[in-house]
Structure 1
Amino acid sequence: MKLLSLNCQGLGNPVAVSSFESVIRFHKPQVVFLMETKLSNDKWEKTRYELGFEDGDGVPADGNTGGLCLFWKKEVKIKVKISDKNHMDVKRKEADGDSKWRFIGVYGCPEKENHHLTWDLIRNLHCGNDESWLCAGDFNQISSNAEKVGGRLVQEQKLIGFNNALSDSGLMDLSFRGYPFTWEKKRDVLGLIEEHLDREVANKK
């Protein structure tokens, strides 16, 4: 099964949807997790249909910020356990009703002072879990200063806190291919800043 996770930074206009349709056609995912959709409930349902997915669930945006969506093809049986503005916790079901695996789409707290809430979320999701699980999304944090170019270095305490949350939850980074940075911003004084904020982590099962 192929899963695509993407911070789309808004799907509220036809140009953005058309651009994302090209991504869908190229990768042909069966499940898509989208962050920062900036869509209300009625609009993400319309977008799901336009992108060619039969089923889905979502968390509406708060005004013009946030918003999460999970879309899937009809051959994939998914049950959404819980969702809020920072995560969607789902299970894939087999025909006999048994759980195949667990997927958690994460959109980490973007405010630096709230990064610890993402660490707590990861640990809470792990608590009592004995299944295979994959956690993917935009964590809004880096795991080392090697994942950042430009700007000021991230405090070591922040890096340790994030890495400890992953380690305590038995999660390992699945690595990546391609360009190493998934976010960028132009700052007048600090120049271009790039960071590796999106990642996929999983347990050993």
Structure 2
Amino acid sequence: MYVLSWNVQRLGNLRTFHDLRNLLQDKTPYIVFLIETRMTAVQMGGLVRRLGVGGVLYVPREWFFGGLYFLWNTGLQVVLLSSSSGHIDARVTFPNSFVTQITRFYGHPHLTRRIYSWELLRRLS
């Protein structure tokens, strides 16, 4: 099972999009987690359609920062368990009926607020 997690730092850049598309074609990951897309849901919707993934869960950006996207291949069943500006937690069922829980996490960028990120991780565990 391949999982790609990438802090893309603004996916709206055409070169970054092409790099992502090439990675998806070369590595064919089952799940892709994108951090810091800095895109609106409408902007990201167009890119997701062009990537041809099976499904998407997302947490929209706040102001001009953040944005988390959890993409998966066709054939997987994904159920959102919880989400916040710093995480997406989901139950994933594979075509062979294997079920797992996948939590993708992005800690708060400000040192003074990382205590909240650690608390979130404790609650998720």
**Contact residue 44 and residue 58 of structure 1 kept, 8 A:** no
Equivalent residues in 2 for 1:48-197 (5 A)? 48-93=48-93, 100-126=99-125
Give secondary structure in 2 for the equivalent of 1:20.
helix
**Contact residue 48 and residue 54 of structure 1 kept, 8 A:** no
Shift, 1:99, TM fit: 7.4
Partner Cα separation in structure 2 for residue 93 and residue 29 of structure 1: 15
Give secondary structure in 1 for the equivalent of 2:92.
strand
| Equivalences, count | 125
Partner of 2:7: 7
Partner Cα separation in structure 1 for residue 17 and residue 94 of structure 2: 31
Higher relative contact order (CA 8 A, sep 6+): 2
Give deviations 1:8-36, integer Å, cap 9, x for gaps.
11111322211211222222111100000
The residue identity in structure 2 corresponding to 1:31 is I
Root-mean-square deviation (CA), in Å?
A: 1.8
Report the TM-score, using the length of structure 1 for normalisation. 0.57
Partner of 1:27: 27
**Contact residue 53 and residue 72 of structure 2 kept, 8 A:** yes
Partner Cα separation in structure 1 for residue 38 and residue 31 of structure 2: 19
Partner Cα separation in structure 1 for residue 71 and residue 49 of structure 2: 9
Give deviations 1:52-104, integer Å, cap 9, x for gaps.
20211111111221000011111111111111110000001357xx8711000
**Contact residue 35 and residue 67 of structure 2 kept, 8 A:** yes
Q: Percent identity?
A: 26
**Contact residue 86 and residue 109 of structure 1 kept, 8 A:** yes
**Contact residue 93 and residue 99 of structure 2 kept, 8 A:** yes
**Contact residue 7 and residue 36 of structure 2 kept, 8 A:** yes
Report the TM-score, using the length of structure 2 for normalisation. 0.91
**Contact residue 55 and residue 74 of structure 1 kept, 8 A:** yes
**Contact residue 75 and residue 94 of structure 2 kept, 8 A:** no
Partner Cα separation in structure 2 for residue 92 and residue 106 of structure 1: 16
Off by >4 Å, runs of 4+ in structure 1: none
